[in-house]
Amino acid sequence: MVLKIPKEQIRIELKRMVDQARDTLHMDMERADAEIRSAVSLDVPESCLVTWNNKLADKKVEADAAFAQFHQFIDEA
């Protein structure tokens, strides 16, 4: 006997998995940011931390765009 899973149910599950991966990535990025900030000495210029924060924010935006593309791909499949 072969089970047939409705396409919409598959889409919902794929989107859930994509969202879970995005959330995990965000948590990992936040953890890395906290570790970097706690590891730096007081001699590190604030400008370095600002640069780090900006690059991290840019990567988060890029990742979110990629995850949005996954959602679009799933919708079109």
Q: What is the mean pLDDT of the chain?
A: 86
CA distance 50 to 66: 24
What gap in Å lies between CA 65 and CA 71, rounded to an integer? Answer: 10
The Cβ of residue 49 has, within 10 Å, a number of other Cβ atoms equal to 14
The token pair that represents 9 in the structure block: 């149910």
Cα–Cα distance measured from residue 59 to residue 49, given in angstroms and rounded to the nearest whole number? 15
Q: Is the pLDDT of residue 42 over 70?
A: no
pLDDT the model gives residue 41? 65
Q: Is 80 exceeded by the pLDDT of residue 37?
A: no
pLDDT higher at 19 or 45: 19
